[in-house]
Amino acid sequence: MNFEELGIEGVHLVEPQVFGDPRGAFLELFVGHRLSAATGRPMDVAQVNCSVSRRGTIRGIHLTAAPPGEAKYVTCVSGSIVDVVVDVRLGSPTYGASLAIPLDDEQRHAVYIPEGLGHGFAAVSDTAVVTYLCDNVYTPGKAISINPLDPQLALPWPAMDDIVLSDKDRTAPTLAETEALGVLPRYSDLRVKTPIRPLG
């Protein structure tokens, strides 16, 4: 299992080793102590979510206000998506920056997203099944949504003929409007440092 930190602090691409044989394939999708050792952050899974989306669907941009915050470990178990992460931590050196990460059922990659970052994805296959491992349970009243089509963010969504959004995402505020509401997390409050344990 290989871990690569991407262009926003804390976000890691996870590349599992896939073992194939005539029956199919096997892989270790998530190994908690390896992730913690690579990222310097604990990931105690409290909830696992699964979404099924048709082509053209965009879900997001979503995050959980801190506290409690919510880290996610996201993979596409069937089909393919473009996963998008955006830095919405006030005071972060990469505030407003975003990443587009392809995830599919062939390479079987995953992405680790620490608390305080916005997350969404676009389904680019006919059907895409996405699982999220979360380190906190859903907390009513703490969910933050940011408009995925905010022109100032100009997120790197793939080209799609038809975009399918929920009413909640379509009418969500822009990043600037969300910042004005005073609900975004502060970078200085989220810099978690934990002892690095050896891989093994």
CB 114 within 8 A of CB 86: no
Residue 134 CA neighbour count, 13 Å, CB half: 19
The one catalytic residue in 62, 73, 109, 112 is 62
Residue 132 designated active-site: yes
Residue 62 designated active-site: yes
Helix (H, G, I), strand (E, B) or coil at 33: helix
The single residue listed with the structure tokens 């990460």 is 101
Closest to 87 (Cα-Cα) out of 192, 175, 25, 180: 175
- Rounded-to-integer distance, Cα 185 and Cα 161, Å: 34
The one catalytic residue in 12, 33, 95, 132 is 132
Quote the tokens at residue 86: 């955006």
- Catalytically active residues are 62, 132
